[in-house]
Amino acid sequence: MSQVLSVDRENFQAEVMDSSIPVLVDFWAPWCGPCRMVAPVMEELAQDFADQLKVVKINVDENSALASQYNVMSIPAIMLFKNGQVVEQMVGFKPKAALAAKIQSQL
């Protein structure tokens, strides 16, 4: 079962902005090759940081307003939210170790 939650504009406020723990957000699309490469990494991170971090994904094709709100120009765009604020931002495929280091620095 997936540890990564799909988020849209309906539940973004509750799942991301109001979260009591940091949230790693993956802005992606089904047609994006690098997005498909990062998906298993997101699953692993969700398991590795299960009690400390929430991992969610937002389909930019279905949630263009959210993508625009956060100036997503290229995907995958990965953002780490803490207390409703973006504290880390990365674009493109990143190896698990690089993402884990960014997460650790914010925990």
**pTM of the model as a whole:** 0.95
Residue 20 amino acid letter: S
| Number of structural domains found in the chain | 1
Q: What percent of the chain has pLDDT over 90?
A: 96
Residue in 3, 8, 29, 32 annotated catalytic: 32
pLDDT at residue 65 is higher than 90: yes
Task: Give the DSSP per-residue string, 43-101.
Answer: HHHHHHTTTT-EEEEEETTT-HHHHHHTT--SSSEEEEEETTEEEEEEES---HHHHHH
pLDDT digits 0-9 by tens, 66-91: 999 999 999 999 999 999 999 999 99
Task: Clarify whether 54 is annotated catalytic.
Answer: no
Residue in 4, 23, 35, 55 annotated catalytic: 35
Q: Is residue 104 part of a domain?
A: no
Q: Is residue 103 part of a domain?
A: no
CA–CA distances in Å: residue 63 to residues 31, 47, 54, 106: 15, 25, 19, 26
Integer Cα distance of 72 and 76 in angstroms: 9
pLDDT at residue 96 is higher than 80: yes
The CATH number of whichever domain residue 74 belongs to comes to: 3.40.30.10
Residue 28 structure tokens: 């992606």
Task: Clarify whether 35 is annotated catalytic.
Answer: yes
Q: Residue 88 is part of which domain span?
A: 5-98
